[in-house]
Amino acid sequence: MTSTRNQRLVKRECLPFALALTLLVAPLLSACQKEVVEPAKRIRAVKTILVADRASGQMRKFPGTVEPVDTSSISFEVTGLVQKVYIKVGHKFKQGEALAVLDKKSFKLNVESARAALSRARAQFKEKKSAYERERRIQAQDSGATTQKAVEQARAAYESTQQSVHYSQAQLDLAKRDLEKTELRAPFDGVVSARHVESFEEVSRGKPVFDVFVEGAMQAAVSIPENMIDEVYVGLRGEVRLPNRPDAVYHAVVSEVGSAATSANAFPVKANINDADKHVRPGMTAELTLLFSREEEGETAYLVPVQALVPGREKDDRHVFVFDSKTSTVRKTVVQAKGIVGNQAIITNGIAPGDIIVVAGVPFLRDGQEVKLLNPSHAGQ
């Protein structure tokens, strides 16, 4: 009973103290909350250019075909009957792989015949050598026992058979080599583009058996009209498109410029396709796009640093970030890139003169992001 009374007394005495403490701390907490300052918004500074430089010329497109860069014909080095052909058109082969073989029977007989001839020549050589040495010994012991003429005749016979041994050895080596050449082996890695013989067909030495090319090394072969050929030079960059893959763009570099016109006063030109893949095959129709410096009708193009381009989800999608002076934000804009000249991309659609393009740090930007210009004068243009 006494304990309960004491607890009530303590509560009555502590209550005024707790109330006073609450009134004292509350303003302090409120003041702390008012002093919390939100961090300043960080605005990214960007490097930009003004779209002004037109690509110095016009885009021109030329139809043509895809060809292998390195082509050659493979043939047997000996004449014979084809026993078997191991590969077909389109086969990919490795260096040293057997492609075809001739019937070896006659070649093996030639080896055996040459080996027998060499054995006979060696036997005759041994016999004539002994006779020559015998004549020399007789003459040395008794000069009257034999004549100098007999010695010379023995020496001549000895030297003749010695030459016969050398000749027979050479014939055996040739027969062995011809036997080895009955197997046609690939001189390098490549692909068969054409086959000219069948099994059990007689082929002569040097007759093409296969046409082959190096896989992946492709070029576009086109004809350039005479009024444009002066603008084409080895090293001129361009692009190749294939009708069956309209969305794929391959980079190309002119590698050959014909010195004489062929048909219709056009000059043959070839451009290596640097990034050709398995879809680029010989004989396909191709379209080569080149940028000419002459001012003629064509697409208007602008030059933008390649680092300003942002790849899209699709292989050929390209974007740039255009600065909006009114909102100080960047707008992700779809553009059409037709090629590259040096480190400049040729843009034919999506931008216009006076546009402010971000050229550095584009992977870290997003559409609608607020930015500030490192060169504010661009915004005043």
Tokens of 378: 């661009």
Q: Are residues 203 and 79 in the same domain?
A: yes
CB 69 within 8 A of CB 200: no
Domain contains 41: no
Q: Note the pTM of the prediction, 2 decimals.
A: 0.54
Domain hosting residue 317, numbered range = 46-55+301-380
| Interacting residues of 83 by C-beta distance below 8 A, sequence separation 6+ | 101, 102, 103, 104, 199, 200
Domain contains 334: yes
Strands 285-292 and 245-257: unpaired
Q: Are residues 248 and 341 in the same domain?
A: no
DSSP annotation string for 333-366 = EEEEEEEEETTEEEEEES--TT-EEE-SSGGG--
pLDDT (tens digit, 0 to 9) for every residue of the chain, 381 residues total?
444 454 554 445 544 554 444 544 455 455 445 555 556 678 899 999 888 756 656 678 899 999 999 889 999 999 999 999 999 999 999 999 999 999 999 999 999 999 999 999 999 999 999 888 888 887 777 766 567 788 888 889 989 999 999 999 999 999 999 999 999 999 999 999 999 999 999 999 999 999 999 887 899 999 999 888 988 999 888 889 998 888 788 889 999 999 998 877 899 999 999 888 888 989 999 999 887 754 444 567 788 888 999 988 776 789 999 999 999 999 999 998 877 665 778 888 899 888 999 999 899 999 999 999 988 877 665
Q: Are residues 255 and 353 in the same domain?
A: no
Q: Are residues 130 and 234 in the same domain?
A: no
Which of 257, 292, 327 terminates a domain? The answer is 292
Q: Are residues 239 and 354 in the same domain?
A: no
Q: Are residues 118 and 157 in the same domain?
A: yes
Domain contains 33: no
Domain contains 368: yes
CB 247 within 8 A of CB 315: yes
CB 122 within 8 A of CB 172: no
What is the C-alpha separation between 81 and 202, in angstroms, rounded?
4
Number of domains in the chain: 4
Domain contains 19: no
What is the C-alpha separation between 57 and 105, in angstroms, rounded?
67
Q: Are residues 189 and 224 in the same domain?
A: no
